[in-house]
Structures are given as structure tokens and as C-alpha cells.
Amino acid sequence: MSLRVSVLLLAVVMVSVMGQRRRTSTSTSTSTSNNEWNFRDGSEKVNMRGVANLTEILDNWRFDILKEMKSLLLNDHQSLLPDYARIQPLSEALDDLYKEFNALKAHLGDLTEKFGPIETFIDELKAERALGGAARANAPQADPAVANPAPGPTRRRILKKKIAPSS
């Protein structure tokens, strides 16, 4: 009896496997002849108002998500970013980077203070040259030798700022 049941079960399995193979072979033959999806099929049934509404909804979601991420990054970045204090080498590297940034910022402030007098001197020099050129253009030129004096060495002022020794 068990032999008959197993033979019957084997026959049923063979029939179902053969039917499945035939079904997949016919579907693959039709799909291999036409590999591209025809997007025009059913396009006349599409409700364009619904597509426009869906596009608008997706755009609104995108803008809301980006706005929320931006506000979180600006206001509560600890909720998004991992806790770097738990990673010791990374925490030390961030501390070093922060210290170097602050040192560069202080050095930039010092350089700005040093270049302040130089900038004012250059501005005064440009103003003198502009006024001198206008005065020469307006002055009568009786004697060409007197009007154009021989070029001499240019005078330059250098201001040195005394720096107090830092401790």
C-alpha cells in the first residue's frame, strides 16, 4: 500500500513539475522577444491629476524631510551624530583639530592687527598720488624741466609694533 501511495505521489509531483516547466518556458519565450517594458500600455487610463498630486506630495515630503534634517543638524546635532566621546582616538583627534583651529583663528587675528597700519599707509599713499596727479594736471607747465622733476628714491614708512613677550 505504501508503495502504491509513493508511486501515486511521485506521479503527481512529476505532472506538476512538468506543467511548471512548460508554463515558465512559454513565459520566458514571450519575455525574451520583448525585453523592454512598454510604458505606453495603459497610458490613456492614467489620471494626470492624480500623478500631479502625487508628485506634489513627494516634493513636499522631500522639502519637509530636508528642512527637518537641517534643523536637527543645526539645533540638535547630538541626536543625529554618534557620540564621539566614546571613541577615544577619534575624540582626541577632534580635540587636536579644535585646538589647531582656535590657534589658527588667533594667529589670523594677530595678522589682521599687524596689517591694519600697512593698509592705512597704502590707502594714504594712494590718496596722495591721486591728489598729486590731479594737482600736476591742473598746474600750468611753463618749464618742462621744472614740471617733471627727476625721479628720485621713493620714501617708505615702515611701522613696527612692539610686541609684549607672552608668558
- Rounded Cα distance between 31 and 25, Å, is 10
Tell me the residue type at 14.
M
Select from 133, 114, 125 the least CA-distant residue to 157.
Answer: 125
Q: Check residue 32 and give its pLDDT.
A: 47
> Domain residue spans in the chain?
49-81, 85-136
Give the pLDDT confidence of 61-90 residue by residue, as tens digits: 999 999 998 888 888 877 777 776 677 777
Query: Which of the given ranges, 49-53, 82-86, 140-144, has the highest pLDDT on average?
Result: 49-53
- List C-alpha distances in Å: 87 to 76, 78, 84, 96, 101: 20, 15, 5, 14, 21
Q: HSE on the CB side for 3, CA within 13 Å?
A: 0
3-state secondary structure of 46: coil
Q: Residues 7-35: what's their mean pLDDT?
A: 69
Residue 129: burial class (beta carbons within 10 Å; 0-12, 13-18, 19+): exposed
- Rounded Cα distance between 145 and 154, Å, is 20
Select from 61, 57, 80 the least CA-distant residue to 70.
Answer: 80
Give residue 94's Cα distance to chain centre.
21
Give the pLDDT confidence of 90-115 residue by residue, as tens digits: 778 888 899 999 999 999 999 888 88
8 A C-beta contact, residue 161 and residue 117:
yes
Using 50, 70 and 90 to split pLDDT, how confident is the model at 51? confident
